[in-house]
Structure 1
Amino acid sequence: MVAIDEAVFLDGPPCVVVDRVKMTYKVPSSIERSTSTRKGIRGSLRKLLGRENLVTVSALKELSLVVERGESVGIIGRNGSGKSTLMKLISGQAAPTDGAVYASSTPVLLGVHAALVPDLSGDQNVVLGCLAMGMDMDEIDQRFESIVEVSGLDSAIYLPMKSYSSGMASRLRFAIAAAVNPEILLVDEALNTGDAQFNDRSKARMDELRAQAGCVFIVSHSLDTIRNMCTRVIWLDKGELIMDGSSEETTNLYQEFSSNLSKGNNITAARIRDEARANLVATQIMERSSGRRMEGR
């Protein structure tokens, strides 16, 4: 990931630019390349030597995005659509096969599987997590109460993490990640805790982050979470960008698509997806002599 140089933007830099990014993987396959390798000496020798048959999988097809300050972007789609791959590319956890990602500061990724130490108490994990994000002990002391308040754990903050439910652990992860006022926050399936009060607190916290000229990305299978917390929604399907629009419009169309799929109306579902894709106005990122300039959607 490359930091955005403010000098090359005429209207000031956005928070995140995804510039013609693609992501492919080489994965092993049990399907033989041909019948000649399935049978006979060559096939047996290859298996004996442990040579795997590798195939190329396209996790994310060419995609460009410009995310401005103050936006809260939801990312929706079926399993395997490329949501988590896009989050990894934006956060810098993975490098794209093609293209580039530019960010105005280091994104903070909050995922369900973010590492915490089960044998330590919640308050000890708060200290460790905040230290890892660059805070000193004075800052941690100042923000400790607000972290506990956002998490809603109350006295449970002093219990071992291994005694927490998955929802409690997710709430604490969010509270820790959001405590450092990151300019770019990425939330991957960490808000579906079923706790209405926490949803209100987390939404209020993300509103604060966006008000501080930051942006938020949220991956969630809960369309209610996306509608309540996002100003813009991106719909991915099989690694392809299908729709990039308002929260209400995009989630409604995706819900109609999903409903038809669940009822076995595959032709209708495909028509809904294809029409949405056909109406997509793609982001164009153009090269200029003075540097890069983003043309938004």
Structure 2
Amino acid sequence: MAVAEQHTPQDSVLPPAARTGTRVPTVIVDDVHIVYTVHGAGTGKGSATAALARLVMRKSSPNVRRVHAVRGVTFTAYRGEAIGIIGSNGSGKSTILRAIAGLLPPESGKIYTDGQPSLLGVNAALMNDLTGERNVILGGLAMGMSQEEVRQRYQGIVEFSGINEKGDFISLPMRTYSSGMAARLRFSIAAAKNHDVLMIDEALATGDRAFQKRSENRIKELRKEAGTVFLVSHNNNSIRDTCDRVVWLEKGELLMDGPTDEVIKAYEKHTGK
């Protein structure tokens, strides 16, 4: 099992203890802290002189703030699991996914992954000036499919997304799509490939119930094919229908990690929902 190079390039394998037992770990998050540096707007008065003075005196700008987004989070994900990540806004859910994907380096702690994690977010980049058809092709190639694999799976991706249910939208530029249509197409492209670790950020909140059901069924298939799925969502019903385990983050801290019903009941009691 390889370590995500962005996080701990000095290590190359999991600790031996992590590889014991019948369950196979795919992601190990070990006492991870993630800190953002936020640059605020300056006053604009004497800013160049003030900046030079801070440089000489080695002082930080008064408008720079450090945000401790994830605080000492530890958990292990195993092959074949679907794990929901819940919490209020700003709790660190999307941040921890980005760290697992290698997009954010931890301030401290380590993240080990088996294979290549793939992060699917509602804001995942597709090219607005290209047609849906071209984006399907380029998206498939970017995920490592061969041209032949993309050709074989193309029609299935279009049908899964439901883009053409109300017309020939797949031949139109992405900029003509609604946000829901674009999100459905992103999910359909990502779900066409088997992933070692697939992370989905709010994608199932888009589309009608029929699409959500197709998505939930596809996640179950990915699990059977020995993958691990993480799902971040504010829709507790999607979490219940899809995940067998839930990680609850609040203010960057891990509050609870356990069976889906048990954790969601505690979360709903906490939030009054």
Length-normalised TM-score, structure 1 = 0.78
Matched, 1:251 2:264: yes
- Name the aligned partner's letter for residue 201 of structure 1: R
Matched, 1:77 2:54: no
Report the CA distance between 1:159 and its aligned residue: 2.1
Length-normalised TM-score, structure 2 = 0.84
Structure number with bigger Rg: 1
Report the CA distance between 1:259 and its aligned residue: 1.9
Corresponding position of 2:29: 18
Matched, 1:217 2:220: no
Report the CA distance between 1:5 and its aligned residue: 3.8
* Pairs within 5 Å for 1:20-35: 20-28=31-39
User: 152, 156, 164: which one pairs with 1:146?
Assistant: 156
Report the CA distance between 1:46 and its aligned residue: 6.7
What is the SS of the residue equivalent to 1:118? coil
Question: Structure 1: any 5+ residue segments left out of the alignment?
Answer: 32-43, 261-297
- Name the aligned partner's letter for residue 130 of structure 1: G
Matched, 1:241 2:242: no
What is the SS of the residue equivalent to 2:205? coil
- Name the aligned partner's letter for residue 235 of structure 1: W
Give, in whole Å, the separation in 2 of the partners of 1:159 and 1:192: 24
Give, in whole Å, the separation in 1 of the partners of 2:100 and 2:245: 17
Distance 1:213 1:243, change over 3 A: same
User: 177, 184, 188: which one pairs with 1:171?
Assistant: 184
Equivalent pairs counted in the alignment come to 249
Distance 1:7 1:29, change over 3 A: closer
Corresponding position of 1:264: none
8 Å Cα contact 1:72/1:210 also seen in 2: yes
**Matched-pair identity in %:** 47
Larger displacement relative to structure 2 (3-12 or 60-69): 3-12
Distance 1:146 1:96, change over 3 A: same
User: 194, 205, 209: which one pairs with 1:192?
Assistant: 205
Give, in whole Å, the separation in 1 of the partners of 2:122 and 2:218: 18
CA RMSD of aligned residues (A): 2.3
Distance 1:164 1:30, change over 3 A: closer
Corresponding position of 1:100: 110
